[in-house]
Structure 1
Amino acid sequence: MGGNLYEDGTVRLDDRGVTIRHFYFPFVSRFLPYERIESVHLGALPDIGGRWRIWGTTDFSYWYSLDLRRPVKTMAIVLEIWGWGRPAFTPKDPDTVASMISAGLARTR
């Protein structure tokens, strides 16, 4: 297992991929290797279906991991992955996490 590059309780990045904490019920993490991620998007959280969505989805286009602090956050990361769904999460430092995931994607291409 590779050493952690970033970890904040909502997400862990290492040299193999991204682990989104509290993704599935009850409190199960989801690991996505960089090879499975098509792209990473950093964007503002919408109020409806975003900031006030602390876990899950409203329309099945995005799936938010559990984050009880999401209502006070403004930015989210959405991963485009091979297969179904778009995992979304709100790390403490979204700019750093997005750039680190982009770097991980570049290494695997």
Structure 2
Amino acid sequence: MTTTYYQDRWITCAQDGLRIRGYYFPWGTKTVPYTAIRSVRRVEMGMLTGQGRIWGTGHPRYWASLDPGRMSKSTALILDLGRYVRPFLTPDDPDAVEAVLRDRMPSGATEGAGDPQ
């Protein structure tokens, strides 16, 4: 049995890593081991900075996982996985997901590192 630390419709923080449903077309799930996360950055969204995007990208550096409810949310989490494209997540409870990620990330990971949006 796998331990689940957090779960909503699109995001699951499980014992072995983060699962992002709806990341790949059409409905594929991306699994990210916690050890692969270099940093997590919290950002406030607006209509021109991700809030109006249901899925995909308007900026080639970030990829927004599918979330039809994103327009009603104001906070996103951006993950640095050491690759050019960074996952852009909008969990129902960003505080809970951020806490799990920071607790499970490698001890050498940095807090909020990366380029500004």
TM-score (norm 2): 0.85
Unmatched tracts of structure 1, length 5 or more: none
Confirm or deny that 1:80 pairs with 2:62: no
Correspondence list, 1:90-101, <5 A: 90-101=90-101
Unmatched tracts of structure 2, length 5 or more: 110-117
- How many residues align? The count is 109
Kindly indicate which of the two structures has a greater share of residues assigned to helix. 1
Confirm or deny that 1:4 pairs with 2:7: no
Partner in structure 1 of residue 25 of structure 2: 25
CA shift for structure 1 position 74: 0.3
User: How far apart, in 1, do the equivalents of 2:73 and 2:80 lie?
Assistant: 21
CA RMSD of aligned residues (A): 1.7
Deviations 1:57-94 (A, max 9, x none): 01211100011110110001110002231001111100
CA shift for structure 1 position 99: 1.0
Contact 1:49 1:57 in 2 (8 A): no
Partner in structure 2 of residue 55 of structure 1: 55
SS of structure 1 residue aligned to 2:50 = helix
TM-score (norm 1): 0.91
- Give the ranges of 4+ consecutive aligned residues of structure 1 lying more than 3 Å apart after TM superposition: 106-109
CA shift for structure 1 position 5: 1.1
User: How far apart, in 1, do the equivalents of 2:6 and 2:107 lie?
Assistant: 17
